[in-house]
A and B are shown apart, each in its own frame.
Chain A
Amino acid sequence: MEVLLGSFKDLSLGNIIMFLIGGLLIYLAIKKDYEPMLLLPIGFGAILANIPASSAIGEHGFLTILYNAGIATELFPVLIFIAVGAMIDFGPLLQQPFMLFFGAAAQFGIFMTTIFAKLLGFSLKEAVSIGIIGAADGPTSIYVANLFAGELLGPISVAAYSYMSLVPLIQPPVIKALTTREERSMAMDLNLHKVSKTTRILFPILVTAVAGLIAPLSVSLVGSLMFGNLIRECGVLEKLSKSAQNELSSLVTLLLGITIGSTMVAENFLTIKTIMILGMGLFAFIFDTAGGVLFAKFLNLFLKRKVNPMVGAAGISAFPMSARVIQRLAQQENPGNFVLMQAVGANVAGQVGSILAGGVLIYLVSSLAL
Chain B
Amino acid sequence: MQDNIATTLWIMLQSLGVTFIGMMIIYALVKILVRYFPEDQ
A residues with a Cβ closer than 8 A to B are: 93-94, 97-98, 100-101, 103-104, 107-108, 110-111, 114-115, 118-119, 123-124, 127-128, 131, 193-199, 202-203, 206-207, 210-211, 214-215, 349, 352-353, 356-357, 360-361, 364-365, 368-370
| B34 & A199 in contact (Cβ 8 Å cutoff) | yes
Bound complex: CA of A157 vs CA of B30, how far in Å?
33
Bound complex: CA of A245 vs CA of B41, how far in Å?
29
| A215 & B18 in contact (Cβ 8 Å cutoff) | yes
**Do A214 and B25 contact each other (CB < 8 Å), given the known contacts A111-B16, A357-B19?**
yes
- Chain B 6-41 residues near chain A, CB threshold 8 A: 7-9, 11-12, 14-16, 18-27, 29-31, 33-34, 37-40
B residues with a Cβ closer than 8 A to A are: 1, 3, 5, 7-9, 11-12, 14-16, 18-27, 29-31, 33-34, 37-40
**Do A118 and B18 contact each other (CB < 8 Å), given the known contacts A123-B3, A196-B38, A210-B26?**
no
Chain B residue contacts of A206, Cβ below 8 A: 29, 33
- B20 closest partner in A (C-beta): A104
| B19 & A360 in contact (Cβ 8 Å cutoff) | yes
Bound complex: CA of A10 vs CA of B9, how far in Å?
46
Contact of A353 among B7, B8, B23 (CB under 8 A): B23
Bound complex: CA of A123 vs CA of B8, how far in Å?
9
**Do A361 and B11 contact each other (CB < 8 Å), given the known contacts A196-B37, A369-B1?**
yes
| A101 & B8 in contact (Cβ 8 Å cutoff) | no
Chain A residue contacts of B31, Cβ below 8 A: 97
Chain A residue contacts of B14, Cβ below 8 A: 360, 364
Bound complex: CA of A364 vs CA of B27, how far in Å?
23
Bound complex: CA of A360 vs CA of B16, how far in Å?
9
A-B contact pairs, 13 of them (CB 8 A): A104-B22, A107-B19, A115-B5, A118-B5, A118-B8, A127-B8, A202-B33, A203-B29, A203-B33, A211-B26, A353-B19, A364-B18, A365-B11
Most buried by A among B1, B11, B39: B11
Q: How far is the CB of A222 from chain B (nearest CB, A)?
A: 10
15 other contacts beyond A127-B8, A196-B40, with CB at 8 A cut-off? Answer: A97-B27, A107-B19, A110-B15, A115-B9, A195-B34, A206-B29, A206-B33, A210-B29, A215-B18, A356-B23, A357-B15, A361-B15, A365-B11, A369-B1, A370-B3
